[in-house]
Amino acid sequence: MTDKIPTSVAAVDLGSNSFHMIVCKVEKGQLRTIDRLKEMVRLASGLDSQRNLDNKTQQRALDCLERFGQRIRNFPAGTVRIVGTNTLRTAKNSQQFILKAEKALGHPIEIIAGIEEARLIYQGVANSLGSNANSRFVMDIGGGSTEYIIGTNDTASVKESLNMGCVTVSNLFFKGGVISKKSFKKATIYAQQKLISHQRKFSRKNWDEAIGASGSLRSIHKVLIATKWSNNGITLKGLEKLVEHITKCKHVDDLNLPELSEERLPVFVGGVAIIYATFQKLDIEQMTVSDGALREGLVHDLLNRIYNHDIRSKTVETVAKHYNTDIDHASRIKQTINYILNQLDSKNCTENSKIVTQFLHWAVSLHGIGLNIAHNQYHKHSAYIIENGDFSGFSRQDQILLSTIVHTHRKKFSKSRFKKLPVPWNKDAQYLTIILRLAILLHRNRHMIERPSFEITIHPSTIELHFANNWLENAPLTYADLETEAEYLSSADYKLNFT
């Protein structure tokens, strides 16, 4: 993240149905939208039976991203957020596609979990739609997943992401655009079955106002208004008339509905089945539609990061407290890490110092959470929780990076563990982990003791550590720990010299 406040920021949503981009000016801490781009890519339709993205769909997507990239490729690092959702979460060859997509866009792509997608959608709605409701229910139908959220003001309190979307439901029940009463009923039951275990927490009694986001719901809303089947958002009565019309048709080409675009046509009925099932299962009578969605949530989240209100730090603080970590001990380790980073930064040994400091501080806060499960190999328990938990604000890549650093902060130092990380973290994370290991080692004695003065230099394969005033001669335990650490690092082709 750049330390300078940028003049422009952008966000890109690589959805399972459509790709969206929003570009905004930053003016006195506020965002002003200056450009929007959207293309219907239907990424989810390119998944084969083995859950691999076929070449034709990949090329269609990359052609779109080349056009997007022309608009944002020259934006400074840290001013663009790009996220992949359901299809890129599930495709087996998504990493292969992501590497090509990042080249087209000129910026890194994050894969976010469904729960994080739900949080960002709610942020987009909350920042674009004024409401006096005490509690909002927000729904977003994507190409491969549907998100349900309840929140108040700008905070989402209940979040779920269900594995059904307008593309996947259309492909399952309306292949080739063929419609029948039987297939529509099956699609509705399918969606209701997905919802049934979440029915109680999203029921009508738990919120004051229902809001829809996403292209599917905006399209349904336009059709209902144009046909005069509804005059106030999406209503149950309007949906019933729409379903009646749909089930009289034999093919999507026969729908002949006003305001229904040709590009939306192939997935329209799948989206209607999902919203109709949702209205029935959750006893919804009426829903307004918001222009805000995931991309707006992304750009607001990015603005918060720029102004040092990163929700990831709040998430780490909450998790650390939940697992009863030693906050004072962590604070001392962070001070030593800052002491090390200041030396390395002055010697031009580190890049992206803000990001490096963030991840190391988060690793310090979370490295001991596994102690609540078992002391033996607690670092593995800590890493598992970090990698597999729902961590607000974190992408999948963020969590895997943080988990890898924590997993390797003690005992064996395995280089192979870093190979699954994307460039440049596959190499840089090794140095972050070494810094963390040394800082923790120097605070093995958890009592309040003054940190020794030392000088540190890190070369590609050598770490030089020099303590002032012969301090090590009077610290036999630390000396022994450093000898052990030198052995661990030696097995990974790093040499630790200390005096």
At 351 the pLDDT is 52
Residue 3's pLDDT band (cuts 50, 70, 90): low
For tokens 């030593």, name the residue: 336
The residue-averaged pLDDT of 465-477 equals 91
Residue 352's pLDDT band (cuts 50, 70, 90): low
Residue 464 CB partners (closer than 8 Å, separation 6+)? 455, 456, 457, 458, 497, 498
The residue-averaged pLDDT of 102-127 equals 96
User: What count of other Cβ atoms lies within 10 Å of the Cβ of residue 390?
Assistant: 14
- Cα(48)–Cα(78) distance, rounded to whole angstroms? 34
pLDDT score of 78 more than 60: yes
User: Domain 310-498 falls in which CATH fold?
Assistant: Hypothetical protein af1432 (1.10.3210)
Same fold, 8-112+296-303 and 310-498: no
pLDDT score of 1 more than 50: no
Joined together, the tokens standing for residue 344 give: 């390395």
Residue 29's pLDDT band (cuts 50, 70, 90): confident
Q: From residue 21, give the alpha-carbon distance in Å to each of 92, 103, 416, 479, 490.
A: 25, 17, 36, 55, 47
Contact indicator for 43, 57 with CB cutoff of 8 Å: yes
The residue-averaged pLDDT of 44-73 equals 96
Every domain of the chain and the residues it spans: 8-112+296-303, 130-290, 310-498
At 2 the pLDDT is 46
At 87 the pLDDT is 96
At 260 the pLDDT is 96
Q: What percent of the chain has pLDDT over 70?
A: 96
Residue 21's pLDDT band (cuts 50, 70, 90): very high
pTM for this model (two decimals): 0.91
The residue-averaged pLDDT of 80-102 equals 96
- Cα(492)–Cα(376) distance, rounded to whole angstroms? 23
Q: How many helices (H) and strands (E) does the chain have?
A: 17, 14
Beta strands in 85-208 (DSSP E): 110-111, 136-141, 146-152, 155-162
**Could you say which of 3.50.50.60, 3.30.420.40, 3.40.190.10, 1.20.59.10 is the CATH number of the domain covering 8-112+296-303?**
3.30.420.40
- The architecture that CATH gives domain 130-290 is 2-Layer Sandwich (3.30)
